[in-house]
Structure 1
């Protein structure tokens, strides 16, 4: 059951009047919302066009999140219902695009038109342009990412554990491989032969967890991150939103926005950040360990 953690005696929140206040309230008062509400809120702030222009049933279909989660989020925010919350998202947006456009790729800049999804050449071009927009967005906001601090934490750890399953598996595998190539002891949590949480349970106090997860957030990653958080190990979260279920009390948060076309999520911006971290680690090790040969990493 997705019941609110608030009690009946607690006063209702004052409903936010704009998107910025909505984001702030969602983050600052996250303890008032259930995990499902936070997932709905995270999707809403990342996809304001969808929230503004879609009935709640269609929004549920697009996001893979139950319509009741959006309704309960709206009421927990202090609105009378979803329709009232939707007005906040509609206010700053322009009118919907013409219905003649056949499909769209969502990305950090908004949407990329796909004139004919059956034309693979045109689809590849549209998806490439969406990825370019995501990378342009990353370039503009990279100063806000704690990249240097993340490198410091990785190099300070005894062992770096990495978890990322489903759509995050490729990035997690590459990161764990590259860390080992750079001389940083790394373990990718795979769960082979036992539960994933059993693999994480052997972490020493000075070990670090890097958790990678994007909607729909994988239960395995969320559960492992929760158990590691309970033991007090430092956590680096790589995800899409500050209210992602893996971000609570994390040491460092790297938020990545990649393009998405229906169920297919790009990894262009994600892999760029992961490779940038690895390059930072390699150069730092060369500075600290004179003679460290970057060309031998081959990552």
Structure 2
């Protein structure tokens, strides 16, 4: 196995796309022996197993040895097997996603240590600050502008985000309703089904929120809406997510760190950026809309 390229594949989809090129001996990629290529193909065929197993377990399962797995990882551009395995773990979906993350943090010692003298959980805070900084530095300004314009001009806006993403979806829909009419929060608790997207057309907009592992109903709702001609804005923690592939306007909220579940700070930051930019673009119209809502709240004595 010889090294031919500088960078390892950035995600599992890219690694999968490499396989046919590796078989053809693409000069831009590493040159693998037949045995190493067969091993890689076996690993890619069962990503969840690779994500949850130790190097010894995988070596035994594939009748190889640990050193061969390490050499394969390095030939692909990774620093070692752990870095190679992390790519599979990031793409885990379904019932093992969170348990795998917990195992990584507890059993594999991947919880980063805080700086000397810091309180024990400061590492989590430090990573969340990094997520917030990454969200801002990686923000697609053109996409944000398109998103705001689409929200302003759409006849109706549906906001969908279920399970862990529901909190952000509710927050966004609630305050969008202060600024414009015909905003609906799509919620399975209210008996809303995917079929409701059939009522949408080219004059409508869906804002879809889904973090990996993506909720199938959310993705299906957005896909059906797009098929009906509606616009779509995606908020996700992975630029190559299923949701992102449905639209030309994706806002990415990095969600890395020593947390058992999906960190959400950067997602709420993006939601706040959307609302703030929309209100600024609307100007006095936004102020008037908010005052109408406040007057209604006061009249109904809602606390």
Both structures adopt the same fold (TM-score exceeding 0.5): yes
- Give the structure-1-normalised TM-score: 0.62
The range that moved more, 250-259 or 190-199, is 190-199
CA distance in 1 between counterparts of 2:73 and 2:80 reads 13
Unaligned runs of 5+ in 2: 21-45, 63-68, 85-106, 295-303
Q: Does 1:122 align with 2:113?
A: no
User: Quick check: 2:73–2:79 contact (8 Å CA) kept in 1?
Assistant: no
CA distance in 2 between counterparts of 1:24 and 1:58 reads 14
Residue 138 of structure 1 deviates from its aligned partner by 2.2
3-state SS, counterpart of residue 142 of structure 1? coil
User: Quick check: 2:206–2:230 contact (8 Å CA) kept in 1?
Assistant: yes
The range that moved more, 200-209 or 153-162, is 200-209
CA distance in 1 between counterparts of 2:262 and 2:233 reads 21
Q: Residues 238-260 of structure 1: CA distance to partner in whole angstroms, max 9, x if unpaired?
A: 11223211122403111110234
Q: Residues 153-174 of structure 1: CA distance to partner in whole angstroms, max 9, x if unpaired?
A: 1111111101111111111110
CA distance in 1 between counterparts of 2:6 and 2:288 reads 51
> Which of the residues 36, 51, 58 maps onto 1:60?
51
> Which of the residues 172, 176, 191 maps onto 1:175?
172
Residue 290 of structure 1 deviates from its aligned partner by 8.2
3-state SS, counterpart of residue 257 of structure 1? coil
User: Quick check: 2:70–2:81 contact (8 Å CA) kept in 1?
Assistant: no
> Which of the residues 212, 226, 234 maps onto 1:229?
226
Residue 26 of structure 1 deviates from its aligned partner by 3.7
Listed as ranges, the matches of 1:211-226 within 5 Å are 211-226=208-223
Which of the two has higher C-alpha Rg?
2
Higher helix fraction: Structure 1 or Structure 2?
A: 2
RMSD over aligned CA atoms reads 4.3
Residue 59 of structure 1 deviates from its aligned partner by 4.8
Aligned length: 229
Equivalent in the alignment of 1:8 = none
CA distance in 2 between counterparts of 1:136 and 1:269 reads 8
Equivalent in the alignment of 2:93 = none
CA distance in 1 between counterparts of 2:229 and 2:142 reads 23
Q: Does 1:270 align with 2:261?
A: no
Unaligned runs of 5+ in 1: 1-14, 33-54, 72-80, 106-111, 116-120
- Give the structure-2-normalised TM-score: 0.61
Residue 92 of structure 1 deviates from its aligned partner by 9.5
Residues 1:267 and 1:22: Cα distance change in structure 2 (over 3 Å): closer
Equivalent in the alignment of 1:258 = 255
Q: Does 1:131 align with 2:136?
A: no
Residues 1:147 and 1:20: Cα distance change in structure 2 (over 3 Å): farther
CA distance in 2 between counterparts of 1:142 and 1:224 reads 25
Equivalent in the alignment of 1:4 = none
Residues 1:82 and 1:167: Cα distance change in structure 2 (over 3 Å): farther
